[in-house]
Amino acid sequence: MFALSTLLVVSVATLALILKTVVDAAQSGRTGVALMAAAGAAAAYAVMAVLREVTDSLAILAVERVGLTDLHERIHRDIATLEGTEHLERTDFLDRVTVVRGSAWGLMAAMWTTLAVVFAVLQLGVSLVLLGSVSPWMLLLTGFAAAPLWCDQRGQRAVAAAETGTAEQFRLQRHLFDLCVAADHGKETRVLGAGPELARRQAAAWQEVLRGRARAQAVATGWRMCGWTLFTAGFVAALVLVVRLRTEGRTTPGDLVLAVTVTTTLRQSLQLTVSHAAQAFEARKLVEPYLWLRDYVARHRREPDGLPPVPVPRRLTSGIELDGVSYTYPGTDRRALDDVSVRLPAGAVVAVVGEYGSGKTTLVKLLARFHRPTEGAIRVDGIDLGRLSADEWRGRSSAAFQDFGRFRTRFFETVGIGDLPYVEDRRRIGEAVRAAEAQQLVARLPQGLETQLGRMLNGAELSEGQWQKAALARAVMRREPLMFVLDEPTASLDAPSEEEIFQRHIAHARATARRTGAVTVIVSHRFSTVSEADLTLVMDKGRLVECGSHDELLAADGRYAELYNLQATAYTAADDSRP
């Protein structure tokens, strides 16, 4: 590609020189030379046309091949394979993802355009050398030629800043649009009559995005006009100078043709250069966020102390210990966890209870290594959790979260991905389905385990409770976890189903504990379902306020007893009110 672009630059200069030869030869009566030169000009023009076509085709092929496959895949892989989830809660990260998302083609095109700018500038330089051969005064066009480039760069800086500055509002309007059109939100939106208000807010957010970007485009247009006005003034002055030199007899007719040809080509080359430069500067709004994301990924994949990770134990012997653990979410100054110290014994079923916002889910996130503690340490059999290989620790963990995934694949796959090596193993998947009490769900599906899920894929759509049962089945696919997490896993199920599933999962947890010493962590707001836990942690405003067995905590008559009795009274009153 480098060679083709160089040939293109040479052919443009050659064409101008040959045209000069044609005119001078004809003027002096050398008809043979003029005809040969004319044939050469035709050949040079043909070469130029072919080279432009070939280079454009190669550019498109390279951009599509690298941009839409390699680079696109790399962006998604980098984001998806980051160790934790803290980046998904940072607005600076999300702003840049919003800009880069789906822009792999643009990123690759920007790199190619930058190469095109280099050769366009080289062509400008060759043109100026040819003009200088006619008259040194023609070299003053250099300054005028630089004006559009400099002005366009200033304008594109404003556009790039506006693109990043409006990213948050762009995400907001897209979210509001999804609320208006997505089936998941359709029922509530219509019952509340919130559709018009959501549409109004979406339109307002979109208008703010458009206003910000339109202002930046207006600024960029103003700068472009200034640059081209300066160049046009220089261009006209150059043509006047060439004509004057010819009338005074100080140049040949061929020099006049050379100057006019090169000056015209210079204008075209400059337009192409400015266009490519504009695309390159436009791409800065993609390149800067992309490089920021690459740097972020590199920094967060690197071990903090630079040491290699420690292998995960094959079996837990002492358990998991939290020592003075605190955590503060990025962008806030309030501790979500505050100085939590406790030991979760190997093989234990541990319940975590507390009111909403007490820190239960944050504790689970730290145990799963989605976040690292702001202060303190978490140790697994005496080894700092941060020193263990994150991939290995995740490979030896299993979980069902309250915000479970809805994988719209075939049903056996949405369960089987709980243990990827066994995603096709129908026997293990069937066992997981039974453990989650999902046999009736599978029986009602049109093709059973083979049923495609998701209305958008012309498949079966599950209810919230059915999706949750699929998530519970997915959570028990792994046979040898060291940590098993159930974070409000039955919030979408009725009380009888919840009780039966909890009993099955506790039995599963104890069987797993006998094999691997696994710690099972159950987060629930229903106290009756966690009374069989070996250890219960009571959280309040990010602090661990009580710790013990169900009977010990009731006897202590503290916060746990208060919440338990309140909930028991509420359920008793509800039962008494039934006819």
Q: What is the mean pLDDT of the chain?
A: 78
Contacts of residue 109, defined as CB under 8 A and 6 or more positions apart, other chains included, come to: 63, 67, 279, 283
Cα–Cα dist 229/443, whole Å: 75
Q: Decide: residue 295, CB within 10 A, 0-12 exposed, 13-18 middle, 19+ buried.
A: exposed
pTM value?
A: 0.62
Cα–Cα dist 226/259, whole Å: 25
Q: What does the pLDDT read at residue 92?
A: 72
Domain boundaries, given as residue ranges, for the chain = 2-174+215-299
Q: What does the pLDDT read at residue 411?
A: 93
Cα–Cα dist 392/432, whole Å: 22
Higher pLDDT, 552 or 111: 552
Which one is the CATH code of 2-174+215-299: 3.30.460.10, 1.20.1440.230, 3.40.50.620, 1.20.1560.10? 1.20.1560.10
Higher pLDDT, 220 or 499: 220
**Taking 50 as the threshold, does the pLDDT of residue 574 lie above it?**
no
Q: What does the pLDDT read at residue 44?
A: 65
Torsion of CA 43, 46, 51, 54, to 10 degrees: -140
DSSP code per residue over 334-355: SEEEEEEEEEEETT-EEEEEES
Contacts of residue 391, defined as CB under 8 A and 6 or more positions apart, other chains included, come to: none
Residue 546 burial (CB count, 10 A) = 18
Residue 422 burial (CB count, 10 A) = 17
Q: What does the pLDDT read at residue 321?
A: 96
Q: What does the pLDDT read at residue 176?
A: 83
Q: What does the pLDDT read at residue 332?
A: 83
Q: Which of 146-150, 299-303, 473-477, 508-512 has the lowest mean pLDDT?
A: 299-303
Cα–Cα dist 176/100, whole Å: 21
Here the tokens at position 436 are: 């989650």
- Extended strands (E) in 369-510: 375-380, 383-384, 397-400, 483-487
Q: What is the pLDDT of residues 412-425, one digit of tens each?
A: 999 999 998 999 99
Q: What does the pLDDT read at residue 384?
A: 93
Q: Cβ(341)–Cβ(285) under 8 Å?
A: no
Q: What does the pLDDT read at residue 525?
A: 74
Residue 554 burial (CB count, 10 A) = 15
Contacts of residue 515, defined as CB under 8 A and 6 or more positions apart, other chains included, come to: 480
Q: What is the pLDDT of residues 342-393, one digit of tens each?
A: 999 999 999 999 888 889 989 999 998 888 899 999 999 999 998 888 888 9
The length of the chain in residues reads 579
Highest mean pLDDT among 227-231, 327-331, 447-451: 447-451
Rg (CA), the chain: 35
Q: Which of 70-79, 101-110, 446-455 has the lowest mean pLDDT?
A: 101-110
Q: What is the pLDDT of residues 476-534, one digit of tens each?
A: 899 889 999 988 766 656 666 667 777 777 888 888 899 999 999 999 877 777 788 89
Average pLDDT over residues 170-194: 73
Q: Cβ(415)–Cβ(357) under 8 Å?
A: no
Q: Which of 15, 17, 10, 32 is nearest to 254 (CA)?
A: 17
Q: Which of 368, 365, 389 is nearest to 301 (CA)?
A: 389
| Angle (CA) 493 496 502, round 5° | 75
Higher pLDDT, 184 or 311: 311
* Confidence bin at 545 (pLDDT 50/70/90): very high
Q: Cβ(513)–Cβ(317) under 8 Å?
A: no
Cα–Cα dist 100/113, whole Å: 18
Alpha helices in 371-463 (DSSP H): 390-395, 411-416, 426-435, 439-444
Residue 533 vs residues 74, 443, 550: alpha-carbon distances, Å: 44, 33, 7
Cα–Cα dist 246/132, whole Å: 15
Q: Cβ(287)–Cβ(110) under 8 Å?
A: yes
Average pLDDT over residues 168-178: 83
Indicate the angle between helix axes 91-100 and 253-301, nearest 10 degrees.
140
Q: In what order do the strands lie in the sheet with 397-400?
A: 397-400, 483-487, 519-523, 349-354, 535-540, 543-548
Here the tokens at position 229 are: 């006005």
Report strand pairing: 483-487 vs 535-540.
Answer: unpaired
The three-class DSSP label of residue 518 is coil
**Taking 90 as the threshold, does the pLDDT of residue 338 lie above it?**
yes
Q: Cβ(550)–Cβ(528) under 8 Å?
A: no
* Confidence bin at 576 (pLDDT 50/70/90): very low
Here the tokens at position 9 are: 């630059």
Q: What does the pLDDT read at residue 241?
A: 75
Q: What is the pLDDT of residues 183-203, one digit of tens each?
A: 666 656 766 677 788 888 888
Which helix (H) or strand (E) covers residue 167, if one does? helix 167-181
| Angle (CA) 233 239 240, round 5° | 90
Q: Which residues pair with 366 in a beta bridge?
A: none
Here the tokens at position 541 are: 């405003």
Convert 127-152 to b/e letters by CB count within 10 Å (16 or more is b). bbebbeebbeebebbeebbebbbebb
